[in-house]
A and B are shown apart, each in its own frame.
Chain A
Amino acid sequence: MENFHPFVLPFVLGAYLLLILCIYKYVRWVRQFDRFQRTVIWKNIFSGKLLPAIWEMFKECLLHLRITKKNWRLGYMHRSIAFGWFLLIVVGAIESRLGTPKHFHFWVAIFYRYFHQAPPTTQSALVFTHIMDALLLYVLSGITLALVKKIHSRILGMRRATKHTVMDNTIRIALWSIFPLRLLSESLSACLYHNGGFLTQTIGNLFSPAVAQVLELPSWTLYSIALCLFFILLPFSRYMHIFTEIFLIYFRKLGVKERVKMTGYTKFELSACSRCGICIDRCPLYKDLGIMDVQSVYLLRNLRNLEHHKDIVEAGKNCLLCSQCAEDCPVDIDLMSIRRISRDKGELDTDGNYKYLHKVKAFNSIGRVAYFGGCMSQLTPAVGASMEKIFQAAGQKFWYMDKERTICCGRPLAQQGFNKQAAELRRKNTELIHNSGATALITSCPICYNAFKNEYQLHIPVYHHTEYIDQLIRCGKLQVDKCDLKVTYHDPCELGRGCHIYDEPRHVLQTVATLLETENNRENSLCCGINLGNTVITLDQQTTIRNTALKNLTSPDPDMVVTACPMCKRAFQHGGTNVEIKDIAEIVANRIKS
């Protein structure tokens, strides 16, 4: 057989096994999509989402632009390995196809320098040879950086790298040895046949032909075995992300979202995690408390393997749901939803728990807006009172839904995995709001806002009070004057990273006071610690997290710290600082022109 040698067998075997395993896994996961997700896919499959999806695949899977934006050194490392290897395959395939007029098999492209022993004679063949060498050098530079990161991750700007399992470490050795082995094999062949480029020929010339004669075949065999090992282990290791991310991007573009239970889509997301460990560095639990085994990377790994059931439960519970990791994730995995899926309470999540709410009736609010303070606003009554003052000043009739008695929005239950119970509360609140005839819903609590906006299907617009006050000021319904206070603004997790509201509160604050920016603001805002996401850490630990956030907020020496969340306000109020803590509604209500 022309263009064949037994040493290619491990590679061929590995490649076929990889193909079969991947197809098997992907088909199984797609079959596990739930009915809702299937409907979304069928609805959007012909809507021209493919081209934008391919563009995003190119940007993220190959160029790693998102990760480059966060940290260019890490970005270079990932890009050089992914994009470099991709080009090696593509350019190698073209080169070998052109250089092999007959008896072409796909392995010839991989072991081209062994099968094509004639030195490059034509101009184009020479160019190809040099390009291939340059690409190999590009990949090797990435591998070197990966090695540096393994030894000392801080050099690449990561405080802490992921602690990997034996399987992940084994396949990493296979991956890291592929390219040096390729360099060695091609150099040895270049020594014998003078068919190398600027890199392989230079290294090849260092060997004596006698040595090269002996080492050539073992070296190519080792290269083939390294490839085989990498391919066979790939579906069971973190490197499954290489192929899975491609599908994930397409499904996401089609509009598929996580559900409350684990579906096939969750399996795609779990496997798309490359375990890069970027989620660890800025996790408040790691940064302030030194807890290192609950971060998303470990939760996703345990969920994917499902072998450590107890670990999953513990890691799943111990999270503030501040969504900093979801913000940082270079693959943009819906980490918060997966966290909630991992908390699913099963049989404990019962139906019909809140029959006692049946007697609550809606207030006829035709021509009014509904105001929902939220449970936490009952603990910070100044927020509700200020909102009442603002409504009156703006001449807006309103219905304070939960002034006396409050029905929870259901999000705290959903965060703890009680999905049926949360749905029951959502049904009740939806019924109340729709029956009232109110024209809009305004809420003061970012948790409720996120729920009403993203989990409810209300027929009326929903505003957070920062948005609403901003609109009132912009359209002149609310006249405020500026005071000479210097204030800093705390972006609540659920409002900022959760609902992407950053500019409205800032505009309001610039109108009534002088706004100072802090180091960790907007997407990088620090969690106040005293939240409903975590049921594991103690009050002392929460306080530690709170103090870090408060230190950041008081660092520009403001007269007042302003927040837009009753819970954050409460957290900071007890922080032992002399600086006044106020909600944005309070500071606006105080500056209304009479």
Chain B
Amino acid sequence: MADFGFSLKKARTVYLSKTDMRKAEQLIATVPSYKLCIGCGGCTASCSARQFTDFNIRKAHNHFRRGQYDKLEEELQKCMLCGKCTLVCPRGVNLRSLIINMRQILSNTTEILA
């Protein structure tokens, strides 16, 4: 098939009854502005890490929101936290806070003090 740079995606099914949504709920409780996300992809379009790899922040937080946490931890480590996504977000989602909190929830850590 000709390569148009995009393709049809296979249908994916998320079994909500089998998914642990607690982490997603925790995320929304800590970063309430995430509820405003319309999934426009502005964050991915502006992403610095995206310019070098296939890192896709919209995909990452969408997966998180749906309880699909596989491989997200390693994926989110690619973020440079430069903050462009936060500045371009048309809905005012605090994406930097979202990314830090996703990583914290996934790795189950908090700030520590020596």
Cβ of A274 under 8 Å from chain B: no
Q: Say if the beta carbon of B6 comes within 8 Å of chain A.
A: no
- Interface size for A (C-beta < 8 A) is 49
List the B side residues contacting A416 at CB < 8 Å.
Answer: 81, 96, 100
Stretch of B8-16, B17-25, B48-56, B58-66 on the interface side: B48-56
CB distance from B55 to the nearest CB of A (A): 8
- Main DSSP-derived SS at the B contact region: loop
Select from chain B the residue with minimum beta-carbon distance to A303. Answer: B113
Report A-chain residues with C-beta under 8 Å of the C-beta of B111: 312-313, 316, 342-346, 417
Q: Are A261 and B114 CB-contacts (below 8 A) given A379-B88, A404-B51?
A: yes
Closest to A425 in B: B80
Task: Write the nearest CB–CB distance from B101 to chain A, whole angstroms.
Answer: 9
With A and B bound together, what is the CA distance between A416 and B100 in angstroms?
Answer: 9
For the complex formed, measure the closest distance between the CB of B43 and the CB atoms of chain A, giving whole angstroms: 12
Q: Mark A230-269, 1 if CB is under 8 A from B, else 0.
A: 0000000000000000000000000000000110000000
Among A262, A342, A406, contact of B48 (Cβ-Cβ < 8 Å): A406
Report how far A318 CA is from B1 CA in the complex, Å.
52
Q: Mark B24-66, 1 if CB is under 8 A from A, else 0.
A: 0000000001000000000000101101110000000000000
Interface residues in B77-114 (C-beta closer than 8 Å to A): 77-78, 80-84, 87-88, 92, 94, 96-97, 100, 103-104, 107, 109-114
Q: List A contacts of B94 (CB < 8 A).
A: 535, 538-539
Take A345-B109, A356-B52, A418-B81 as given contacts and tell me if A536 and B97 are in contact as well, using a CB distance cutoff of 8 Å. Answer: yes
Q: A312-B113, A356-B52 are in contact. Are A535 and B80 (CB under 8 A)?
A: no
Q: Which residues of A contact B97 (CB under 8 A)?
A: 535-536
Q: Does A348 count as interface, using CB distance less than 8 angstroms?
A: yes
Chain B residue at minimum C-beta to C-beta distance from A347: B109
Across chains A and B, the number of contacting residue pairs, with CB separation under 8 Å, is 107
Report whether B113 and A405 are in contact in the complex, using a CB–CB cutoff of 8 Å: no
Give the Cβ gap from A98 to chain B, nearest Cβ, in Å. 51
A306 within 8 A of B: yes
Find out whether the CB atom of B92 lies under 8 angstroms from the CB atom of A538. Answer: yes
Which A342-387 residues have a C-beta within 8 angstroms of B?
Answer: 342-348, 350, 353-354, 356-357, 359-360, 375-376, 378-379
Neighbour of B81 across the interface among A303, A312, A408, CB < 8 A: A408
Which one of B53, B94, B109, B111 has the highest number of Cβ atoms from chain A below 10 Å of its Cβ? B111
Residue numbers in A under 8 Å from B80 (CB-CB): 354, 375, 407-408, 410, 412-413, 425
Shortest distance from the beta carbon of B96 to any chain A beta carbon, whole Å: 5
The reply to whether the CB of A532 lies closer than 8 angstroms to some CB of chain B is: yes
A-side contacts of B48, CB under 8 Å: 375, 405-408
Residue contact B112 to A344, C-beta cutoff 8 Å: yes
Q: CB distance B113 to A348 under 8 Å?
A: no
When distances are taken between beta carbons in the complex, the residues of chain B under 8 Å from A313 are 110-111
In the complex, A129→B46 CA distance in Å? Answer: 75
Whether the pair A567, B87 counts as a contact (CB closer than 8 A) is yes
Indicate whether A530 reaches chain B with its CB closer than 8 angstroms.
Answer: yes
- Kindly state the separation between the CA atoms of A500 and B64 in the bound complex, as whole angstroms: 43
Q: Chain B contacts of A407 at CB under 8 A?
A: 48, 52, 80
CB-based contact A412/B81 at 8 Å: yes
Is there a chain B Cβ closer than 8 Å to A591's Cβ?
A: no
Flag whether A570 is at the interface (Cβ < 8 A): yes
Contacts of B92 in A (CB 8 A): 538-540
CA distance A397 to B92 in the complex (A): 40
Contact A412 B52 (CB under 8 A): no
Q: B residues within 8 A CB of A417?
A: 111
Indicate whether A346 sits within 8 Å of B87 (C-beta atoms), given known contacts A406-B51, A408-B81, A412-B80: no
Query: Are A412 and B83 in touch, CB under 8 angstroms?
Result: yes
Q: Does the CB pair B81–A346 fall under 8 Å?
A: no
| Chain B residues near A350 (CB-CB < 8 A) | 77
| Bound-state Cα–Cα, A217 to B21, Å | 73
Asked if B107 and A347 make an inter-chain contact with CB atoms under 8 angstroms apart, the answer reads: yes
Nearest neighbor of A316 in chain B, beta-carbon distance? B111
Given A405-B51, A407-B48: A375 and B82 interface contact (C-beta under 8 Å):
yes
What would 21 A/B residue contacts be, using CB atoms closer than 8 Å? Answer: A262-B113, A303-B113, A342-B111, A344-B111, A344-B114, A345-B111, A346-B111, A348-B103, A348-B104, A356-B52, A357-B52, A360-B52, A407-B80, A408-B80, A413-B81, A532-B83, A535-B96, A535-B97, A539-B92, A540-B92, A567-B87
Please give the residue numbers on chain A whose beta carbons come within 8 Å of chain B beta carbons, in ascending order. Answer: 261-262, 303, 306, 309, 312-313, 316, 341-348, 350, 353-354, 356-357, 359-360, 375-376, 378-379, 404-408, 410, 412-413, 416-418, 421, 425, 530, 532, 535-536, 538-540, 567, 570
Q: What are the nearest 4 A-B pairs in CB distance?
A: A539-B92, A346-B112, A535-B97, A408-B80
- Other A-B contacts than A341-B113, A346-B110, A407-B80, 18 sampled, CB-CB below 8 A, are A261-B114, A262-B114, A309-B113, A312-B113, A348-B104, A357-B52, A360-B52, A375-B48, A375-B82, A375-B83, A378-B46, A379-B84, A408-B80, A408-B81, A412-B96, A425-B80, A535-B96, A538-B94
